[in-house]
Amino acid sequence: MNKIGIMGSGAFGTGLASALSNADNKIILWGRNSNNAKYINSKNTNQHYLPNIKIPKSIFATSDFQDLNNINVLLMVTPAQHLRETLNSFKIKNLKCPIIVCSKGIESKTGKLQSEIVKDVLGNIDCAAISGPGFAIELAKGMPTALTLAADDLDLGKKLQSMLSSETLRLYLSNDLRGVQLGGSLKNVYAIACGIIVGSNLGESARAAVITRGFAELSRLAHAMGGNINTLNGLSGFGDLALSCTSQLSRNFSYGQQLAKSGNLQPNQTVEGISTALATIKLAEDYNVEMPIASQVALVLSGKTTIGTALKELMRRPLKKENII
Domain ranges of the chain: 3-175, 185-315
pLDDT-above-90 percentage for the chain = 86
Give 159-196 pLDDT, tens digit per residue.
Answer: 999 999 999 999 999 999 999 999 999 999 999 999 99
- Active-site positions? 187
Euclidean distance between CA atoms 108 and 298, whole angstroms: 12
pLDDT of residue 324: 72
Q: What's the pLDDT band for 144 if we cut at 50, 70, 90?
A: very high
- Same CATH topology for 3-175 and 185-315: the answer is no
Find out whether 221 and 283 touch, Cβ atoms under 8 Å. Answer: yes
Question: In this predicted structure, what is the pLDDT of residue 23?
Answer: 66
Task: Give the residue-averaged pLDDT of 226-241.
Answer: 96
3-175 fold: Rossmann fold (3.40.50)
**How confident is the model at residue 66, as a pLDDT?**
86
Does residue 69 have a pLDDT over 90?
no
Residue 94's pLDDT is: 67
Q: What's the fold here for domain 185-315?
A: N-(1-d-carboxylethyl)-l-norvaline Dehydrogenase; domain 2 (1.10.1040)
pTM: 0.95
Give just the sign of the alpha carbon dihedral 307, 249, 4, 227: negative
Residue 266 pLDDT greater than 70, yes or no:
yes
Cα 317 versus chain centre, distance:
31
Mean pLDDT, range 189-206, rounded to an integer: 98
